[in-house]
Structure 1
Amino acid sequence: MKKLKIVNAFAFLAFILSIAACKKDHGNYDYKELPLFQIDTSGMSGIFETIQNQPLTISPKIRFEGNESQLQYLWRLYDGGEVPVIDTLSNVRDFDESIHREPGNYTLELRVQQKEDKRMQIATFRVRVQSPGSYPSGWLIAYNEGSVADFDLITAPQFLTAGIKDTVYKALYATANGAIIPGSIVQLRIARDFSNGSLQSIFLSTNETSVQMSHNTFLHTKGFNNMFTDLPNITKPQFINDAGDAIVNNGVVYSGLQGIYLARLLAPNAAPYTAAPMLHQYLNYATAFYDTQQKRFLQIPEMGSLAMDLSSDGLFDVSDIGMDHLLYTPGFPVSTSTRGMWNVFKDDADRRFLLATDLSADTALAKINITAAPNIKQAKFFQAGYLSAYCLYADDHKIYRIQPDMRSGTTSINTESGFAVTGDEVIVSMKIFRANSNALNHKGLFVATWKETEQEGKLYLLPLNEVSGEIGLQPLKVWTGLGKIRDMGFK
């Protein structure tokens, strides 16, 4: 007990002395405020793509309030192997080097060190190296020049990763294949695996033919005559679905797998039908089309050649629309959980109706009389939101917005968007920018125009509110000197 008391006494004395020492310390120190030092990677979170042995440029934003001559730079390339650091590539601020490694995904690391106080900042960038002959991701624009169809690929930092070079790769089909595609463009389809979104093939259809090609090199893989086990008598491709496994040709639907169309579909009870130029894929295996004769939606079966009846609960019956089909676009009428489709129909009284359907839940969500919407009878181009309920449509000169009330499903607010072109500049195509893992996903609207007097195509990239559908009137970017664009999409 006596030992314990002595130990406690010493502990108490040490505590008192420490307090006294603190009281006598008046903070007589010489503090040095360090200058701001950071690597700002905002807007650079995407994937940088490059071709093997071709230069890749990355210009990072380095915020440093001191003398930049005091900074040292080190760029290193990593992979996921047992020895992750595989190359030291550069010792300068801006990266502009070729990567000679095998095609694949890598991590490029930048280390910036301040010489004086040894502070260091580190940033990493995802890099995809592609095979020679391949092209990077970008915005494809399919256009006509006279009686010939082709497409360009556009890359720019406004819709890709900051630092990407602003480039237009011209006439890619002719460049890759030394051949032309005859006819007027009907559709550009960038086919993806519906379950995971991975690219499969690219199809370009005209009123004379359809071709399938590699999504990396654009090399021709098959033409219209090789796409069918039972070749149609008439060549008139009108629409290919998202996965490339169904096509409408001359009003007849054919189904198959990745550009090989095995079955010519029959309607229930062998009734005659004419398919509208639309195919809506809403499940991995389920695609719907509109029968313009019986005025109803039908489903393409996963297997077999007999189309199936569809049914729905809600504001209308998808098996008995009773109106003429005009416009179609996929969208998410309520939230991202509803794989919806939007269609504009015309009734016998020449009224216009907007119908929204979620076929994955067999639900008819909205039937709205939009006859009073401005210039709706002149609408040619139609897009819908993926994050909330809104639609955009365009005539030759203006873009308009429809904001449906999805609580009632029967009313909407219809307004002009504010974007318009004048004179003989006319709108020829319109697409919302959609690319997963991209900062501009759903937030950009591409609008293509054509000026007949100057034989010049123009492409606008407009800022878009992904929830309301409101369009910013100051373009993010404008490209000029293009062909007459008829369709677009992200590769």
Structure 2
Amino acid sequence: MKRIYLIYVTLFIVFVQACKDDLGNYEYTDTPIVTIDTSDMGGILAVLRYGSLNLAPKINIPSGHEAEYKWILFNRPASSAIPAKSAIISTDAILNAAIGEPEGNYGLEFIVTDKTTGIMSTVVFRVDVTSNLDYGMMVLYQTEEGGDVDFIKTPQLSASITQVEHFKHLFSASYGAQISGTPKFIGNARVNFRPVDWITVGSSNYLGRFNANNFDLLRDQLDIFRRNNTIINPQAYRYISTNYQALINGGKLHVATEITNEIDALFGGPAAGDYELAPYLTSKVNFAIYVVGYDQKNGRFIRYFPSSHTMVDFAAPALNVNQPFDLRNIGKDMLFMGEGRNSHTYSVFKDKVGDRRWLYQIDFSSKSDDGTLGVAVYEMTNLPDAAQAKFYQAAAFGDYIYYATDSKIYNYSYSFSNTASQAFTVPAGEQITSIKFYRPSPNTFVADKEDRVLYVATWDGTKGKVYELGLNETSGMINAVPLNVFEVAGKVVDLSAKTKGNG
């Protein structure tokens, strides 16, 4: 026992001596780390879906160090049945990102990694995503990858809008990819106190219907048709005042009615008949007329007859009534058709041979098909730059229409003087690609705003712009200075008002 004790004493002495002889130089210091100051930013952030989330936290980086950044948005599943998802939305120090996720509560983690030390600093925010597209203008544009949709809101469009907002890339954020094919049209369908509230988007090979409040996909492609063998080639779409959805697809008319819900509002097969429709529709028609189109093949206006699902001729001009033209025999190529003053339809035509231009005024809205629907015809041939006009809009409050060339917009007074004057010119280097009045339907709560703003889209070869122009709704005079100018990530092909509706 004594021997064991001596062994322990000896080992202790050796250990103490070893520590005494260790002459190493040890210095213990704190490693500098990145700090993130969010004291003035708040813990809960609110953003409208498709709106931009902008954050600029104060970041303190140790002298001589470099950092890299990562913003990660993740959902907060309410149950284990919902999969957890996350996505990197930016790698910049300052966040400026469009949020396309559906409504709900999310987490946003900001990670700063010190590349010198490898140490990460992080902070987490709560993000509440809500939807409220409200009144505004939809912008459909073409990119190198496909097509997409922006949404514009300004105080000029509704008294309830207090600031200018530009929501970008709605389609790709919702759908997960851009629109395939060549974009053609975008339109809003809304009926007060009925389950009609959606946005329809069409391209050369795509047709989709989206929720008008949050742009969630409702259905697309063959799911919008009752026949699964339909070849998808959309060219024009309108929701008609007769509660019909009208679609021109491959030159033929397809119609859909909505009775109780969106699920049943599907397009049937093409209406029968020997015709090929121009890509234009008018929404102001009498309930006894249903849908009106222009048969480009045979040079005539024709209408939809629902009981036989056919396209038929209009009635012959009434006897002993002086009609300016015969709807059954126009014999020209249509360049435009849309609504204007007195809810009449205004159509611009070009002769099949030569460059003569014509404006036809027709009343499809207040009378049934009795052979007396023609109102007037005006020759536009000698108006300035009429042969170069590419885009048209008919005013609702004055006897004028706008026509636009590549760079100029003219105010054409058709009933008083049959003359036109230059109303607006876009900046040099830009080319006009679309013009549209702000004209939501229904116009509940915004009747004092419609037709008071004209939107003009341009393209300079690399980027698109949308000009918001104030105007006098009765004279058509356009203010020289735009109310707002928006940059768009592509070439705009169509513009359309979106309404909020009531009920």
TM-score tier after normalising by the smaller chain length: 0.5 to 0.7
Displacement of 1:349 in angstroms is 3.6
Displacement of 1:444 in angstroms is 0.9
Q: Which of 360, 364, 389 matches 1:355?
A: 360
Q: Evaluate the alpha carbon distance shift between residue 199 and residue 396 of structure 1 in structure 2; reply closer, same or farther with a 3 A threshold.
A: farther
Displacement of 1:482 in angstroms is 4.1
1:250 equivalent in structure 2: 250
SS at match of 1:429: strand
2:304 equivalent in structure 1: 300
Mapped to 2, the partners of 1:161 and 1:172 lie a distance apart of: 24
1:377 equivalent in structure 2: 387
Query: Are the aligned partners of 2:400 and 2:412 in contact in 1 as well (CA < 8 Å)?
Result: yes
Displacement of 1:420 in angstroms is 0.9
Specify every segment of 5 or more residues in structure 2 that has no aligned partner in the other structure, as ranges: 1-46, 52-128, 259-264, 499-503
Alpha-carbon displacement from aligned partner over 1:331-357 (angstroms, at most 9, x marks no partner): 12xx3xx44333333243431111111
Displacement of 1:229 in angstroms is 2.1
Alpha-carbon displacement from aligned partner over 1:168-220 (angstroms, at most 9, x marks no partner): 11111222232332122111111233x88996211111112111111111111
Displacement of 1:403 in angstroms is 0.7
1:282-431 to structure 2, matched below 5 A, reads 282-284=285-287, 286-311=290-315, 312=317, 314-332=323-341, 335=342, 338-360=343-365, 361=367, 362-405=372-415, 412-417=418-423, 419-431=424-436
Mapped to 2, the partners of 1:198 and 1:469 lie a distance apart of: 36
Alpha-carbon displacement from aligned partner over 1:120-175 (angstroms, at most 9, x marks no partner): xxxxxxxxxxx944433322111122132111111222333276232211111222
Displacement of 1:490 in angstroms is 2.0
Q: Which of 437, 442, 448 matches 2:451?
A: 442
1:241 aligns with 2:241: no
Mapped to 1, the partners of 2:139 and 2:348 lie a distance apart of: 24
1:274 equivalent in structure 2: 276
Mapped to 1, the partners of 2:195 and 2:429 lie a distance apart of: 40
Displacement of 1:442 in angstroms is 1.1
Alpha-carbon displacement from aligned partner over 1:271-314 (angstroms, at most 9, x marks no partner): x2111111223134611001112211111124431222213562
1:463 equivalent in structure 2: 470
Please report the TM-score for the alignment, with normalisation by the length of structure 2.
0.64
SS at match of 1:181: coil
2:3 equivalent in structure 1: none
SS at match of 2:398: coil
> Which residue identity is paired with 1:149?
G
Displacement of 1:233 in angstroms is 5.3
Q: Evaluate the alpha carbon distance shift between residue 179 and residue 163 of structure 1 in structure 2; reply closer, same or farther with a 3 A threshold.
A: closer
Q: Which of 224, 227, 247 matches 2:224?
A: 227
> Which residue identity is paired with 1:238?
Q
SS at match of 1:183: coil
Displacement of 1:371 in angstroms is 0.6
SS at match of 1:466: coil
Instruction: Give the greater-gyration-radius structure (CA).
Output: 2
Q: Evaluate the alpha carbon distance shift between residue 434 and residue 396 of structure 1 in structure 2; reply closer, same or farther with a 3 A threshold.
A: same
Mapped to 2, the partners of 1:257 and 1:470 lie a distance apart of: 39
2:494 equivalent in structure 1: 487
Q: Evaluate the alpha carbon distance shift between residue 482 and residue 308 of structure 1 in structure 2; reply closer, same or farther with a 3 A threshold.
A: same
Q: Evaluate the alpha carbon distance shift between residue 234 and residue 162 of structure 1 in structure 2; reply closer, same or farther with a 3 A threshold.
A: closer
Q: Evaluate the alpha carbon distance shift between residue 154 and residue 412 of structure 1 in structure 2; reply closer, same or farther with a 3 A threshold.
A: same
> Which residue identity is paired with 1:292?
Q
Please report the TM-score for the alignment, with normalisation by the length of structure 1.
0.66
- The number of equivalent residue pairs is 350
> Which residue identity is paired with 2:215?
F
Mapped to 2, the partners of 1:169 and 1:473 lie a distance apart of: 26
> Which residue identity is paired with 1:237?
P
1:201 aligns with 2:221: no
> Which residue identity is paired with 1:212?
R
Q: Which of 150, 154, 166 matches 1:156?
A: 154
Alpha-carbon displacement from aligned partner over 1:350-383 (angstroms, at most 9, x marks no partner): 3111111112334211111111112222211110
Mapped to 1, the partners of 2:359 and 2:286 lie a distance apart of: 23
Query: Are the aligned partners of 1:443 and 1:466 in contact in 2 as well (CA < 8 Å)?
Result: yes
Mapped to 1, the partners of 2:165 and 2:302 lie a distance apart of: 43
1:191 aligns with 2:197: no
1:261 aligns with 2:267: yes
Mapped to 2, the partners of 1:284 and 1:146 lie a distance apart of: 42
Q: Evaluate the alpha carbon distance shift between residue 443 and residue 196 of structure 1 in structure 2; reply closer, same or farther with a 3 A threshold.
A: farther
Mapped to 2, the partners of 1:321 and 1:157 lie a distance apart of: 43
Displacement of 1:475 in angstroms is 1.3
Query: Are the aligned partners of 1:212 and 1:223 in contact in 2 as well (CA < 8 Å)?
Result: yes
1:477 aligns with 2:481: no
1:97 equivalent in structure 2: none
Mapped to 1, the partners of 2:172 and 2:287 lie a distance apart of: 33
Moved more, 274-283 or 209-218: 274-283
> Which residue identity is paired with 1:186?
K
Alpha-carbon RMSD across the aligned residues, in angstroms, is: 2.7
Identity of aligned residues (%): 27
Query: Are the aligned partners of 2:145 and 2:178 in contact in 1 as well (CA < 8 Å)?
Result: no
SS at match of 1:182: coil
1:179 equivalent in structure 2: 177
Q: Evaluate the alpha carbon distance shift between residue 424 and residue 317 of structure 1 in structure 2; reply closer, same or farther with a 3 A threshold.
A: same
